[in-house]
Chains A and B, each alone.
Chain A
């Protein structure tokens, strides 16, 4: 952890009405690494990502991206920062009135001056990487959940971003499909070398991919540790989380033993 973090959240607080969801988030994300944010559902994990993306302004606290304060940026700077981001939304957020091809081509068409021929080349390359050849002309509604996520991932990666955010990439998929998403993720990350921030509760599988695991509990990041240290941490909340999510196996062993 000797390098400077590329994303830093300092004491982020955010509430909706009387409900205080984030109570002082401190988190650093390092270049080229995969950071996984785990925690119970509905406790603000996706909210953290939305803060980093600048979609939501915190009530107090600071977000630094590449060393710059996100909330003091002009619209133009924010736009530039976002051009380094790729996002896979929870429900993929595909443009449902466009075909798969147009969905993936959109960032290229709107943000670059590439010719249609080049765009087709780049889009097909990304779709191939996701094993999606042959569905170019389909509409999102005609795809299965796993395919939709892969299209979303292709769209997130098409501009070769430096940081990619995954908001629950495997939620709602069966085991085989979610393994497939992980494989695609692993393959693309080794190939493209991006920094990944994953929000997930697919424990323990997600530990295999993570360089760092952060637990969000009670509106606070309890700790951000490499997976091995995470599983043996002394923090009571992390212990509880690890036991709750992975403990069943031990328990049954106890019974069997």
Chain B
């Protein structure tokens, strides 16, 4: 009896997650298709979203980038000093930022700042019938609401990552060279020598993928808030789904980071 109940429960749960996954893939395809359908595209919609998702995230990106670079400089210097190779500090900081920390941390910050906002906004629109209203006016919400957000996030992420990297490298410079006294010349020359196009390319691909992940998961979670198993109604439903979306996005970023790295290395 208990076994039967257990099977029933797990089957139900399994079906629910398969359903969810299927919905999310269909949602993504729908958005991609409607993005490339061109009638009446409003540039102002996209620039507004780039401002909200991209420009408004710059402060937090600069701030976290600076401190990440600084702590890398601090840790890197003290570790490398043991082997007498402080000269490699520049390349150590730059490589870890460009390949890993830049894309991942920038993506996590954008998830917290913009992803949660996307999810909550769309969730509220769904719950207050605004999305139904759009559909009734024969305006495709995938195109009108989602496409600008997708484009904006995918455009913003590589740029934000680049800012993060540059600020981080100078943060490392500040601590490693100015504070701890590593050689200024070797900080930069080791960096020029060791950072290759391959590394920048990897960081770029990652930031694009993470951008897509953020906007995809957060937008789809908000869009389908009414299908949530735990009940997606009202303010509480939106808050729950937003939390869930942020957690899911953050986890996916770390998981995908591993797979993208293993594919590109």
Which residues of A pack against B, CB within 8 Å? 50, 53, 55, 79-80, 82-83, 85, 87, 89-91, 93-97, 106-107, 109-111, 113, 155, 159
Residues A106 and B138 in contact, CB atoms below 8 Å apart: no
**In angstroms, how far is the closest chain A Cβ from the Cβ of B45?**
10
The 6 closest A-B pairs by CB, nearest first: A93-B129, A82-B138, A93-B133, A87-B136, A79-B138, A83-B138
Closest to B121 in A: A97
Q: Which of A93, A107, A113 contacts B132 (CB 8 A)?
A: A93
Closest to B137 in A: A107
Residues A82 and B135 in contact, CB atoms below 8 Å apart: yes
For this complex, 5 residue pairs linking A to B, each with C-beta atoms less than 8 Å apart, are A89-B132, A90-B129, A93-B133, A94-B130, A109-B42
Residues B139 and A106 in contact, CB atoms below 8 Å apart: yes
- Separation of A79 and B129 alpha carbons in the complex (Å): 18
Interface size class of B (residues with CB under 8 A): 10 to 19
- Separation of A138 and B138 alpha carbons in the complex (Å): 25
- Separation of A125 and B167 alpha carbons in the complex (Å): 53
Residues B137 and A96 in contact, CB atoms below 8 Å apart: no
**Given A53-B136, A89-B133, A113 and B128 contact (CB-CB distance below 8 Å):** no
**In angstroms, how far is the closest chain B Cβ from the Cβ of A205?**
25
Chain A residues within an 8 Å CB radius of B135? 53, 55, 82
Chain B residues within an 8 Å CB radius of A83? 138
Residues B128 and A55 in contact, CB atoms below 8 Å apart: no
**In angstroms, how far is the closest chain A Cβ from the Cβ of B230?**
15
Closest to B140 in A: A79
**Given A110-B144, A113-B40, A93 and B130 contact (CB-CB distance below 8 Å):** yes
Chain A residues within an 8 Å CB radius of B144? 110
**In angstroms, how far is the closest chain A Cβ from the Cβ of B52?**
11
Chain A residues within an 8 Å CB radius of B125? 95
Using a CB-CB cutoff of 8 Å, which residues 111-136 of chain B contact chain A? 121, 124-125, 128-130, 132-133, 135-136
- Separation of A85 and B21 alpha carbons in the complex (Å): 33
Chain A residues within an 8 Å CB radius of B40? 110, 113
- Separation of A24 and B138 alpha carbons in the complex (Å): 28
- Separation of A79 and B135 alpha carbons in the complex (Å): 8
Q: Which of A80, A93, A110 contacts B139 (CB 8 A)?
A: A110
Residues B136 and A82 in contact, CB atoms below 8 Å apart: yes
- Separation of A90 and B138 alpha carbons in the complex (Å): 19
Chain B residues within an 8 Å CB radius of A82? 135-138
Residues A111 and B130 in contact, CB atoms below 8 Å apart: no
Residues B128 and A111 in contact, CB atoms below 8 Å apart: no
- Separation of A95 and B40 alpha carbons in the complex (Å): 20
**In angstroms, how far is the closest chain A Cβ from the Cβ of B140?**
7
Chain B residues within an 8 Å CB radius of A106? 137, 139
- A79-B140, A93-B133, A95-B130 given; 8 more Cβ-contact pairs under 8 Å: A82-B135, A87-B137, A90-B129, A93-B132, A97-B121, A106-B137, A111-B138, A113-B40
Q: Which of A55, A91, A97, A110 contacts B136 (CB 8 A)?
A: A55
Closest to B144 in A: A110
Q: Which of B121, B129, B132, B139 contacts A111 (CB 8 A)?
A: B139
Q: Which of B121, B128, B136, B140 contacts A85 (CB 8 A)?
A: B136
Closest to B129 in A: A93
Closest to A75 in B: B140
**In angstroms, how far is the closest chain B Cβ from the Cβ of A91?**
7
Q: Which of A85, A91, A107 contacts B129 (CB 8 A)?
A: A91
- Separation of A148 and B128 alpha carbons in the complex (Å): 14
Chain A residues within an 8 Å CB radius of B130? 93-96
Residues B133 and A111 in contact, CB atoms below 8 Å apart: no
- Separation of A80 and B124 alpha carbons in the complex (Å): 27
Chain A residues within an 8 Å CB radius of B139? 106-107, 110-111
Chain B residues within an 8 Å CB radius of A85? 136, 138
**In angstroms, how far is the closest chain B Cβ from the Cβ of A118?**
15
**Given A110-B40, A110-B144, A113-B40, A89 and B137 contact (CB-CB distance below 8 Å):** no
- Separation of A159 and B124 alpha carbons in the complex (Å): 26
Chain A residues within an 8 Å CB radius of B128? 91, 93, 96
